[in-house]
Amino acid sequence: MSPRKTTRPPSSAAPSEQALVRELVTHLREKREALRRQWVQQMTAKGLLAGLTPEETETESVNIYDTCVGCLDTGEYSGAERYAASMAERGVLRGMTTEQIIGGLLTLRDVYGRSLFERYQRDMARLSAALDVYEPVANKILSIVALAFIEEREKVVRQQQEAIRELSTPVLQVREGLLILPIIGVIDSVRARQLTEQLLHGIRNSRAKVVVMDITGVPNVDSKVANHLVQTVDAARLLGATVIVTGISGAIAQTLVTLGLDLSKMNTVGDLQGGIEHADALLGYKVIASG
């Protein structure tokens, strides 16, 4: 998250607005303990603090409260951005649910808001002005934290995708001219392309005539990947190799037929054993039990 400096330069704000900001900041700082306690109480009642120790609750709530008031004071949000980033780093965000994070902040927003109502209830014009000053700040802080939370989650997802991609797809030679390509897990388009490269180069390097591609470990494929796999089989033929696909699941079978791909040239056998037996026949090997 690149730090953005959104500054409302205090000197260019209208003097009355400036005075109002000062007033609000002073008010929120004076009432800090009372309001903070109120906030914690409300969060506890809503069950938002599950999984946090009392010390953690104390420290975090103080930091968050002060950071928010600080943003109102300076008109600058780098403090909030830094704090949200540090929360994400410390893995707090990972342990907490969206409900807890957003719910917690919304509760604080309400607590601040109510406090403003209380203070200015006898002067509607002043209340309105106060809310005009306060609300954009509160909303901005909320979106900064929500964004940090989402980015953290997305980072985890990206890491997991990378891990899956790195599950290497070995191309194994089991006999002269026969390669086996066992595929496990989800195939996305990147992995599909990787697969094709490995397969075609494997055929060239080992001069294979038959490849048994086993997809028992693949739960399902989307239309792009299915198309890509069929193209890979066709491309292997141009290199003089036959591809036998084994282990097609019911779901994948449905996908392939529904897509209306030309499957007439595709060699399929139910399981890996059958596939190897078929490959042996094609290559002219015969397996005889000794003794």
Q: Where along the sequence are the contacts to other proteins (CB under 8 A)?
A: 196-197, 200-201, 203-204, 207, 231-232, 234-241
- Pairing status of strand 172-175 against strand 210-217: unpaired
Q: In what order do the strands lie in the sheet with 242-246?
A: 172-175, 178-184, 210-217, 242-246, 267-269
Q: Which is nearer to other proteins, 60 or 188 (CB)?
A: 188
- DSSP conformation letters of 194-205: HHHHHHHHHHHH
Q: What is the residue whose two structure tokens read 């600058």?
A: 76
Question: At its nearest, how many Å lie between other proteins and the CB of residue 198?
Answer: 10
Q: Which is nearer to other proteins, 50 or 190 (CB)?
A: 190
Question: At its nearest, how many Å lie between other proteins and the CB of residue 259?
Answer: 16
Q: Which is nearer to other proteins, 235 or 263 (CB)?
A: 235
Whether the Cβ atoms of residue 141 and residue 82 lie closer than 8 Å to each other? no
Question: At its nearest, how many Å lie between other proteins and the CB of residue 191?
Answer: 15
Q: Which is nearer to other proteins, 127 or 239 (CB)?
A: 239
Q: Which is nearer to other proteins, 202 or 247 (CB)?
A: 202
Question: At its nearest, how many Å lie between other proteins and the CB of residue 238?
Answer: 4
- Beta strands (DSSP E) in the chain are 172-175, 178-184, 210-217, 242-246, 267-269
DSSP SS3 for 179: strand
Give how far the C-alpha of residue 75 lies from the chain's centroid of Cα atoms, to the nearest Å.
31
What's the Cα-to-Cα distance from 105 to each of 79, 100, 152, rounded to whole Å? 16, 8, 18
Q: Which is nearer to other proteins, 196 or 249 (CB)?
A: 196
Whether the Cβ atoms of residue 219 and residue 187 lie closer than 8 Å to each other? no
Question: At its nearest, how many Å lie between other proteins and the CB of residue 39?
Answer: 59
Q: Which is nearer to other proteins, 98 or 231 (CB)?
A: 231
Question: At its nearest, how many Å lie between other proteins and the CB of residue 231?
Answer: 5
Q: Which is nearer to other proteins, 108 or 233 (CB)?
A: 233
Whether the Cβ atoms of residue 129 and residue 165 lie closer than 8 Å to each other? no
Question: At its nearest, how many Å lie between other proteins and the CB of residue 214?
Answer: 21
DSSP-assigned beta bridge partners for residue 268:
245
- Pairing status of strand 172-175 against strand 178-184: antiparallel
Q: How many C-beta neighbours within 10 Å does residue 42 have?
A: 16
Question: At its nearest, how many Å lie between other proteins and the CB of residue 196?
Answer: 6
